[in-house]
Structure 1
Amino acid sequence: MDVNAVSSASASSSAATTASKKATLDYDTFLTLLVQQMKNQDPTEPMDATEQIAQLATFSQVEQTIQTNKNLENLLQSSTLNQAGSMIGRTIVSADGTITGVVEEVKVYSDGLVAVLEDGKKVLVGAGVTIR
């Protein structure tokens, strides 16, 4: 099992959450701007239909991107949990080699994984950690 993949998945999950929140702001802002533009347009010179269709297409693309990001985030979280579960009962060696033991439990945080050993010691799962 590649420990770097676990860290990478966790980091990607956090990035997806941030991107999703940012996209939601953009989505809401876009919708507000579109409504305001339609309310305040000059009745004697209405918006060009082609321009309006292009804006609605952009609106649809933003919405689809948000849904894709949410689905990707759920997939990454599921993958991280599966990888965390597969560490239980295996031997882990910290990156600096000072802590070694059998993993009793794995705690999943938004920024990474922490393996709790049978003797109570904790190891941050990241680059350089060896799992046997």
Structure 2
Amino acid sequence: MDAVNSVTGNAAAAPAGPKKVGVDYDSFLKLLVAELKNQDPTEPMDATQYVSQLATFSNVEQSIKTNDKLDEILRAGFLQQAGSLIGRTLTSPDGAITGKIEEVRVFDDGIAAILDNGEQVVVGGGVTIS
């Protein structure tokens, strides 16, 4: 259960975070070095294959850096959104919870509003803020 869902105690309230898929930067480097160490000396790797793998290595590194920057932008957006919510009225998607936002908690994967009646609501799809 992620941080935002733990605030409400409802795992269905927000989608789970992205799963780690594929090979990360360190694993790719280890695979490349192992391949170079274990290649047949009588039939060394073709230079074009080596250059292709180095290009792939560069793409993996660049993707990791891009993802890190996107995460920073997302966190900054959450912080900016959080400040603008205090004092406004929030209504849950089902209309069962309504109240004035007194406090906002920011997590890596979203924000949760604490209302004047003590209720905690994940700010996400279907929530009305006025």
**TM-score range for the pair, normalised by the shorter chain length:** 0.7 to 0.9
Distance 2:92 2:72 in 1: 29
Please state how far the C-alpha of 1:66 moved relative to its aligned partner. Answer: 0.7
Identity %: 56
**Contact 1:101/1:117 (CA < 8 Å) preserved in 2?**
yes
- Counterpart-to-counterpart distance in 1, 2:48 and 2:122: 55
Distance 2:105 2:69 in 1: 23
8 Å contact kept, 1:106–1:115: yes
The TM-score with structure 2 as length reference comes to 0.76
Aligned residues: 117
**2:38 pairs with 1:30:** no
Q: Is the 8 A contact 1:102 1:118 kept in 2?
A: yes
Q: Name the counterpart of 1:43.
A: 41
* Structure with the higher helix share, 1 or 2: 1
SS at match of 1:127: coil
Q: State whether residues 102 and 115 of structure 2, in contact with CA within 8 Å, keep that contact through their aligned partners in structure 1.
A: yes
- Residue 127 of structure 2 corresponds to which residue in structure 1? 129
**Matching residue of 2:11:** none
Segments of 5+ residues of structure 2 without an aligned counterpart are 1-13
- Among candidates 102, 105, 109, match of residue 103 of structure 2: 105
Q: For residues 53-88 of structure 1, give each alpha carbon's deviation from its aligned partner in whole angstroms, at most 9, with x where no partner exists.
A: 111111111110111111111111111121121100
Unmatched segments (≥5 aa) in structure 1: 1-9
RMSD value, Cα: 2.3
Residue 56 of structure 2, aligned match among 54, 58, 71? 58
TM-score normalised by the chain length of structure 1: 0.75
